[in-house]
Structure 1
Amino acid sequence: MTYTKEQVSAHLNLLKGWTLVEERFIERKYIFYSFMKGIAFVDEVATISEAFNHHPLITIDYKTVILRLTSWDVGYLTAIDMKEAQQYNEAFEKMCPEERECEVEVMKNK
């Protein structure tokens, strides 16, 4: 079951750093202080994604990792997208407990 726009908005208020993009994706941009830290994070994202059997679009640009989620099969966002985004946040917080290790910037809607 897809979420309504209101449900998406309510969930995004609870998901640190995630924004609605192009009216069908949620997206978060993570900036790391080292390339290898970003790659280790992507490895963790892959493990989480396999467990959900639901995979994000991943962009790696040196020390920046951007994740985008949507439920392609239903054409919009669902509970699985929100649950998975929360697990990515938890993985990030576990990897980067101190601000000096990683830095996050939120993507702004264009």
Structure 2
Amino acid sequence: MLLTEGELQEQIGKLDGWKLDDGAMVRKYVFSDFMKGIAFVDEVAAISEAFAHHPHITIDYKTVTLRLSTGEEGGITALDVREAHEFNEAFEKTR
């Protein structure tokens, strides 16, 4: 079920670094070197498999950008929010 605009604003306010962009949640993670970013992407892949829900991932040297939405629902759901929290936790461990 899609989150309402009010729910989206509330949840984004609780997620460090995430913002809304064209119907998706987006965050850029910056690392001190390329390999730390790649290690983070490995963690993102494992989390995504566990959730059976996969973000769009862009790697640009030391910056990894994740974009989350639920295509089947046509927007952002609670699943996206839960997964974003997990990605933030993985970032704290990886950086």
TM-score, normalised relative to structure 2: 0.98
Which is helix-richer, 1 or 2? 2
1:63 and 1:2 map into 2 onto residues whose CA distance is 32
| Code of the aligned partner of 1:16 | D
Q: Does 1:75 align with 2:71?
A: no
| Code of the aligned partner of 1:36 | M
SS in 2 for 1:50: helix
* Structure 2 unpaired stretches of 5+: none
Alignment deviations for residues 6-40 of structure 1 (CA, whole Å, 9 cap, x no partner): 10100000000000001x10000011111000000
2:47 and 2:76 map into 1 onto residues whose CA distance is 18
1:13 and 1:93 map into 2 onto residues whose CA distance is 18
Q: Does 1:9 align with 2:12?
A: no
2:75 and 2:63 map into 1 onto residues whose CA distance is 25
Structure 1 residue 63: Cα displacement: 0.7
* Structure 1 unpaired stretches of 5+: 97-110
TM-score, normalised relative to structure 1: 0.85
Larger Rg: 1
1:38 and 1:94 map into 2 onto residues whose CA distance is 12
SS in 1 for 2:72: coil
Aligned to 1:18: 18
